[in-house]
Amino acid sequence: MIRPFHTVKLAIVLFTLLWWLCGGSSLANHIVGGELELVHVQGFRYNLNLIQYFDQAQSANPGPEPQLLAYIYRKSDNVFMRRDTLFLTDQATVPYTNIECSLDELKTLRAFYTREIELLPENFDDPNGYYVVWERCCRNAGIVNIVNSIGAGQTYYLEFPPVVKNGRPFINSSPSLFPPLSDYACVNQLYYTDFAGVDLDGDSLAYTLVTPLNSSALQALPIPQPAPHPEVIWSQGIDLANVIPGNPSLRITNRGFITVKPEKIGLYVFSVLCQEFRKGVKIGEVRRDFQMLVVDGCNPEPPPNLKVRVPGSLSFNSVIRDTLVFRAGDNKCFDIQVTDPVGDKNIKMRAVGVNFEGEVEGIFTLKEGYLATADDIFNLQVCLSKCPYVSEGPYLIDIIAADDACPLPQMDTVRLAVIMEPPPNQAPRYVNQTSKMINLTLDEGISYSLPLEGIDLDDETMVLDIVASDFDPEEWGMQVAIGKDEAGSIEAVFEWETGCGSFPFGVKNQFDFTLRLSDNDFCMDNSRDEIQVSLTVNLPVNNPPELSTTLGSYDLQIPVGTNFSFPVTATDADGDVIDLIAVPVNFSFEDYLINFSPVSGPGEVSSTFSWNLGCDLIDTEVQDYFELNFVAADNDFCLQTETAVISLKINVFQETNESPVITVAGVENDRVTINSLEFIELEVTSTDPDNDFLSIDLLDGVPLPPSETFEFNRVEGQGQAKGFLRWAPECFLFDEAREVSYKVSFLSWDTRCPNPKFDTLSIFIDLIDRESPGEFLPANIFTPNGDGINDTYSIPDLPVDNCDDQFQFFKVMTREGTNVYMTRQRDFVWNGDKLPSGVYYYMVKYSQRSFNGVLSIER
pLDDT tens-place string over residues 123-145: 999 999 999 999 988 887 788 99
Strand pairing class (555-559; 643-653): parallel
Q: What is the 3 state secondary structure string of 300-312? A: CCCCCEEEEECCC
Calculate mean pLDDT across residues 597-608.
Answer: 96
| pLDDT surpassing 60 at residue 100 | no
- Domain count for the chain: 6
Asked whether residue 773 is domain-assigned, the answer is: no
What is the distance between the terminal CA atoms of the chain, rounded to a whole angstrom?
164
- pLDDT bin (cut points 50, 70, 90) of residue 620 is confident
- The per-residue pLDDT for 621 is 81
Q: Please list, in sequence order, all residues whose beta carbon lies within 8 angstroms of the beta carbon of residue 775, skipping any fewer than 6 positions away.
A: 851
| pLDDT surpassing 60 at residue 856 | yes
- pLDDT bin (cut points 50, 70, 90) of residue 180 is low
Beta bridge partners of 369: 347
SS3 of residue 42 by DSSP: strand
Q: What is the CA angle 526-527-531, rounded to 5?
A: 100
CB 109 within 8 A of CB 33: no
Q: Please list, in sequence order, all residues whose beta carbon lies within 8 angstroms of the beta carbon of residue 275, skipping any fewer than 6 positions away.
A: 205, 206, 207, 208, 282, 284, 285
CATH code, 846: 2.60.40
Count of helices and strands (H, E) across the chain: 1, 53
Q: What is the arrangement of strands in the sheet containing 693-698, beginning at the earlier edge strand?
A: 671-675, 758-768, 739-750, 693-698, 715-718
CA distance 408 to 181: 12
Domain endpoint, select from 740, 768, 796:
768
pLDDT above 70 covers what percent of the chain? 92
Of 265, 287, 161, 160, nearest to 214 by C-alpha is 287
55 and 171 both lie in a single domain: yes
CA distance 527 to 133: 47
- The per-residue pLDDT for 7 is 35
- The per-residue pLDDT for 364 is 64
Q: Name the phi and psi angles at 20, rounded to 5.
A: -70, -40
Strand runs (DSSP E) across 751-795, as ranges? 758-768, 781-782
Asked whether residue 244 is domain-assigned, the answer is: no
Question: If residue 13 lies in a helix (H) or strand (E), which one and from where to where?
Answer: helix 6-22
Domain endpoint, select from 603, 631, 653:
653
- The per-residue pLDDT for 789 is 93
- The per-residue pLDDT for 98 is 54
| pLDDT surpassing 70 at residue 6 | no
- The per-residue pLDDT for 619 is 84
CB 271 within 8 A of CB 287: yes
CA distance 34 to 22: 22
Query: Within 13 Å and on the Cβ side, how many CA atoms surround 767?
Result: 26
Is the pLDDT higher at 96 or at 340? Answer: 340
670 and 745 both lie in a single domain: yes
Asked whether residue 242 is domain-assigned, the answer is: no
User: How distant is the alpha carbon of residue 654 from its chain centre?
Assistant: 36
Of 554, 583, 617, 598, nearest to 753 by C-alpha is 617
CA distance 380 to 385: 16
**Please, is 348 exposed, middle or buried when counting C-beta atoms within 10 Å of its C-beta (0-12, 13-18, 19+)?**
middle
CB 754 within 8 A of CB 744: no
CB 451 within 8 A of CB 493: yes
Asked whether residue 279 is domain-assigned, the answer is: yes
- The per-residue pLDDT for 16 is 35
610 and 734 both lie in a single domain: no
- The per-residue pLDDT for 10 is 33
CB atoms within 10 A of CB 543: 13
Mean pLDDT value across the chain: 87
Question: If residue 850 lies in a helix (H) or strand (E), which one and from where to where?
Answer: strand 850-857
Q: What is the arrangement of strands in the sheet containing 305-309, beginning at the earlier edge strand?
A: 305-309, 333-339, 378-383
- The per-residue pLDDT for 524 is 66
- pLDDT bin (cut points 50, 70, 90) of residue 622 is confident
Query: Within 13 Å and on the Cβ side, how many CA atoms surround 6?
Result: 0
278 and 325 both lie in a single domain: no
Question: If residue 781 lies in a helix (H) or strand (E), which one and from where to where?
Answer: strand 781-782
20 and 99 both lie in a single domain: yes
270 and 121 both lie in a single domain: yes
- pLDDT bin (cut points 50, 70, 90) of residue 22 is very low
| pLDDT surpassing 70 at residue 256 | yes
416 and 433 both lie in a single domain: no
Domain endpoint, select from 653, 688, 711:
653
Calculate mean pLDDT across residues 803-830.
Answer: 94
- The per-residue pLDDT for 30 is 63
613 and 490 both lie in a single domain: no
CA distance 218 to 154: 10
Q: Which of 102-106, 650-654, 804-808 has the lowest mean pLDDT?
A: 102-106
CATH code, 527: 2.60.40.60
Residue 336 belongs to what domain range? 305-420
| pLDDT surpassing 90 at residue 500 | no
CB 500 within 8 A of CB 444: yes
- Residue 475 φ/ψ region, left for φ over 0, alpha for ψ in the -120 to 50 degree band, beta for the rest: alpha
- pLDDT bin (cut points 50, 70, 90) of residue 103 is low
CB 736 within 8 A of CB 803: no
Calculate mean pLDDT across residues 458-480.
Answer: 92
For the chain, give the longest Cα–Cα distance: 182
Please say whether the dihedral angle defined by the alpha carbons of residues 339, 340, 345 and 349, taken in this order, is positive or negative.
negative
146 and 227 both lie in a single domain: yes
CA distance 803 to 19: 103
CB 230 within 8 A of CB 216: yes
381 and 437 both lie in a single domain: no
CB atoms within 10 A of CB 534: 13
434 and 532 both lie in a single domain: yes
- The per-residue pLDDT for 189 is 86
CB 214 within 8 A of CB 191: no
- The per-residue pLDDT for 17 is 31
- pLDDT bin (cut points 50, 70, 90) of residue 743 is very high
DSSP state of 627: E
Strand runs (DSSP E) across 506-586, as ranges? 510-519, 528-538, 546-549, 555-559, 563-571, 577-584
CA distance 442 to 536: 6
Is the pLDDT higher at 521 or at 321? Answer: 321
Is the pLDDT higher at 479 or at 18? Answer: 479
- Residue 637 φ/ψ region, left for φ over 0, alpha for ψ in the -120 to 50 degree band, beta for the rest: alpha
351 and 335 both lie in a single domain: yes
CA distance 121 to 133: 20
Q: Name the phi and psi angles at 253, rounded to 5.
A: -75, 165
Asked whether residue 384 is domain-assigned, the answer is: yes
| pLDDT surpassing 50 at residue 629 | yes
| pLDDT surpassing 60 at residue 25 | no
CB 111 within 8 A of CB 195: no
- pLDDT tens column, 558-586: 988 888 999 999 999 999 999 999 999 99
Calculate mean pLDDT across residues 304-326.
Answer: 90
Is the pLDDT higher at 386 or at 799? Answer: 799
Asked whether residue 247 is domain-assigned, the answer is: no
- The per-residue pLDDT for 840 is 95
Of 96, 111, 98, 131, nearest to 32 by C-alpha is 111
CB 158 within 8 A of CB 75: no
DSSP state of 831: -
Question: If residue 610 lies in a helix (H) or strand (E), which one and from where to where?
Answer: strand 604-612
pLDDT above 90 covers what percent of the chain? 57
SS3 of residue 11 by DSSP: helix
Asked whether residue 776 is domain-assigned, the answer is: no
Beta bridge partners of 547: 570
Strand pairing class (324-326; 204-210): unpaired
| pLDDT surpassing 60 at residue 771 | yes
CB atoms within 10 A of CB 7: 13
CB 470 within 8 A of CB 513: no
Please name the residue ranges forming H helices in 228-316.
Answer: none
| pLDDT surpassing 80 at residue 64 | yes
Asked whether residue 199 is domain-assigned, the answer is: no
